[in-house]
Chains A and B, each alone.
Chain A
Amino acid sequence: MVDILRNYDILGAFWVTIQLSVLSAVGALVIGTVVAVFRVSPVGVLRVIGSLYVNLIRNTPLTLLMASSILGLSFVLGLSISDQATRNAYWWAVIMLAVYHAAFVCEALRSGVNTIPAGQAEAARSIGLTFGQSMREVLLPQAFRGAIAPLGSTLIALIKNTTVAAVILGTAESAGLLAQITENEGASLGTFFIFALGFVILTLPLGIATTNLSRRLAVKR
């Protein structure tokens, strides 16, 4: 057990997991917000694009997206982000995690938008705010507050889903390293426990924080 801890960089692997989580979470929130605005916009074409995105991405397995980014986009089409193979795989992993979870962020936000009474949008328009201003000033702030709890669940899922990046990242992140340790040292309950604990440490506080936040920031009507 001590040998495993000494010979393998478990903390380093979790550090990569954290990086993947933070970077792709930011990306997912940005893309997801844009897609959510598309889905509630008054322009029909944008609504269609938004719903196509959600339905296409949400129903594609993440492993498939991961593999196709490297095999399809990078190797076949030559869309390379970095000349260094590991950096290339790292950034493709971030992009795919962001793109995939953006679909869930969008749906969480849209459910948040749906909790807002229609009168809020009408009042915003009637004082002369444009669609963009109504979104920024009135609808999205309330949608985010109403969506904190489901957004928390999405972020927790994202953190655990970073393990899928092992498909293209190899042993750099935690799940890949776990597979390597199991391969070299044999399966042991202790090793599994260490990795499981690592994820609990990452996800549990996030769940508690978002639950508290959603209670504190809830819009009183």
Chain B
Amino acid sequence: MSEPLVVMRDVNKHFGDLHVLQDINLEVDKGEVVILIGPSGSGKSTLCRTINRLETFESGSISIDGKELPEEGKELAALRADVGMVFQSFNLFAHKTILENVTLGPIKVRGTKKADAEKRARELLDRVGIGHQAEKYPAQLSGGQQQRVAIARSLAMDPKVMLFDEPTSALDPEMINEVLDVMVELAKSGMTMIVVTHEMGFARKAANRVVFLSDGQIVEQATPEEFFTNPTSDRAKDFLGKILTH
């Protein structure tokens, strides 16, 4: 039995007086797809962002593939290279073409040759359906297309685990599915994924486990089917009641 890929132990974080993460303990196995769900302000995005230290935390530890997160500097950069991250607002590099967005990491961080990086980038862009737009700039693409490029940019680093911080929340409704389709395919290919989302269709189709957070605490964990049909905690029932009744 090998060690889980991501291990969080007693992680605590405050934003001023707000105790935004309270003694978080979470383990994610290799190949597992975990959904973080919870009301606004529950700390789910913060939790996701602490895993690659875009947010600092005060106490506790987080390790990835057996290595504990370093504080800052080159070691942290090296570790971040192994952790893909997809943001709500895409964050493609605005001054670079789509192709350059995907090849920047491999060339600068992994030291891949430009020609090899471009070949791989085109394969990944084809995989997410943006292959024919490689020479365009991010602002020329729709939100859904930009988000698929962002996924390809992360994949180009061959990450051990991918974090998704509300990847479809900034998208127009008709573009949500094109992004979710890519994510479902990724989950099926065996990628370890931690996803902050309210997309229950995606959770049912692709997730192994749903983690419900409220007020900075993990309140409940279950399979998607169990969680959505038969939640045990009052807070989860209350939350699901609010998002399911309209």
Contact = CB atoms under 8 A, between A and B. Distances in A.
Interface of A: 42, 117, 119-120, 122-130, 133, 137-138, 141-142, 145, 219-221
Nearest to B157: A127
A128 B105 contact: yes
A128 B77 contact: yes
A141 B108 contact: no
A127 B94 contact: no
Contact of A126 (B85, B89, B90, B95): B85
A126 to B, nearest CB: 4
A133 B109 CA distance: 9
10 contacts: A119-B89, A119-B90, A122-B54, A122-B91, A125-B80, A127-B104, A130-B74, A133-B109, A219-B95, A220-B140
Residues of A contacting B: mostly: helix
Contacts of A142: 94-95
A126 B92 contact: no
Contacts of B157: 127-128
B147 to A, nearest CB: 12
B197 interface: no
Given A126-B54, A220-B139, A221-B139, A119 B91 contact: yes
A129 B87 contact: no
B83 A126 contact: yes
A145 B93 CA distance: 14
Nearest to A142: B95
Given A123-B92, A126-B85, A137 B108 contact: yes
Given A119-B87, A133-B108, A126 B93 contact: no
B58 interface: no
Contact of B94 (A125, A137, A219): A219
A127 B109 CA distance: 8
Contacts of B73: 130
B117 to A, nearest CB: 12
Contacts of B203: none
B140 to A, nearest CB: 8
Interface string B140-152: 1000000000100
Nearest to A130: B77
Given A126-B52, A127-B153, A129-B108, A120 B93 contact: yes
